[in-house]
């Protein structure tokens, strides 16, 4: 499917400070059908903002018929341009990540969802995804009841509660009403096995509808196809993207109606 690329600036007021956030839009286009309506998705950024790999990830989703918005989350500190894949760029991104208040991240997500739902081409169904920091933000995005599905790639700082001041993400897991996919590499040095166990156990205890996958041999950032320091795994990335598509197709392109009833009773048969 063909796509168009634009951007839109929205006003922000988190912490009482007026600002502006740029949202990068990747929109599917069908010739001769300007009024076609599609589901939407947020593509949350890693610590270096909307880099080449993030843009290609967003385009890939958009090419399957979804309106994708990628907000530039570091607008309080710098422009919308991506940070570089080097030590200064990494250090700057990690510094901004913890300096930014969690309430400001949440405002970014709400504003982005508002923008998507305000498009005449959006059918009213929204999902979210992201990698690294963006994986954590996609998790928090799921607190918004308008978000029906979230796919979180190697979400950092979730187990350690170190996103920034006010990080209550796991504590609020019961607020998630949609379906969740958590994806990690077995060799992820940023989210160790004990951290992944904490996430899994908490989601079980909070009654979240989720899947959690740990991919053998995969490391942190295994879907990053640029300057990945030997970690990029295209075969595994393809499989994970198919899981994202299955969830989005089932929850965003199908009108499921309101969820009814509690936990499904499974008959013990063979």
Just list the catalytic residues.
132, 188, 220
Query: How many beta carbons lie within 10 A of that of residue 263, not counting itself?
Result: 7
Return the SS3 of 164.
Answer: coil
Copy the structure tokens of residue 87. Answer: 């030590």
Determine the Cα–Cα distance for residues 39 and 37; give it in Å rounded to an integer: 7
- Judge contact between 223 and 131, C-beta under 8 A: yes
- Judge contact between 207 and 177, C-beta under 8 A: no
Determine the Cα–Cα distance for residues 146 and 26; give it in Å rounded to an integer: 20
Determine the Cα–Cα distance for residues 184 and 28; give it in Å rounded to an integer: 29
- Three-state helix/strand/coil letters over 118-145: CCCCEEEEEEEEEECHHHHHHHHHCCCC
Question: What is the layout of strands, in order, in the sheet containing 179-185?
Answer: 2-12, 19-29, 67-71, 38-44, 122-131, 147-153, 179-185, 209-215
How many H helices and E strands in the chain?
6, 8
Determine the Cα–Cα distance for residues 194 and 197; give it in Å rounded to an integer: 5
């Amino acid at each position: 499917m063909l796509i168009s690329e634009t951007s839109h600036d929205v006003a922000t007021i988190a912490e009482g400070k007026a600002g502006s956030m740029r949202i990068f839009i990747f929109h599917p286009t069908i010739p001769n059908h300007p009024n076609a309506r599609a589901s939407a998705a947020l593509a949350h950024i890693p610590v270096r903002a909307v880099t080449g790999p993030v843009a290609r990830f967003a385009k890939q989703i958009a090419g399957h018929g979804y309106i994708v918005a990628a907000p530039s989350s570091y607008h309080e500190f710098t422009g919308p341009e991506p940070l570089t894949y080097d030590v200064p760029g990494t250090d700057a991104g990690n510094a901004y990540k913890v300096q930014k208040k969690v309430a400001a991240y949440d405002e970014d997500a709400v504003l982005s969802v508002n923008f998507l739902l305000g498009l005449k081409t959006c059918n009213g169904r929204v999902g979210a995804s992201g990698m690294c920091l963006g994986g954590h933000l996609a998790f928090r995005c799921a607190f918004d009841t308008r978000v029906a599905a979230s796919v979180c790639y190697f979400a950092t700082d979730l187990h350690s509660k170190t996103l920034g001041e006010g990080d209550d993400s796991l504590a609020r897991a019961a607020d998630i009403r949609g379906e969740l996919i958590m994806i990690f590499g077995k060799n992820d040095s940023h989210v160790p096995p004990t951290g992944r166990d904490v996430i899994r156990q908490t989601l079980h205890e909070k009654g979240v509808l989720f899947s959690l996958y740990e991919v053998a041999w995969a490391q942190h950032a295994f879907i990053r196809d640029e300057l990945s320091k030997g970690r990029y795994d295209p075969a595994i990335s393809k499989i994970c993207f198919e899981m994202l598509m299955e969830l989005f197709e089932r929850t965003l392109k199908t009108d499921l109606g309101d969820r009814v009833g509690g936990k499904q009773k499974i008959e013990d048969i063979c």
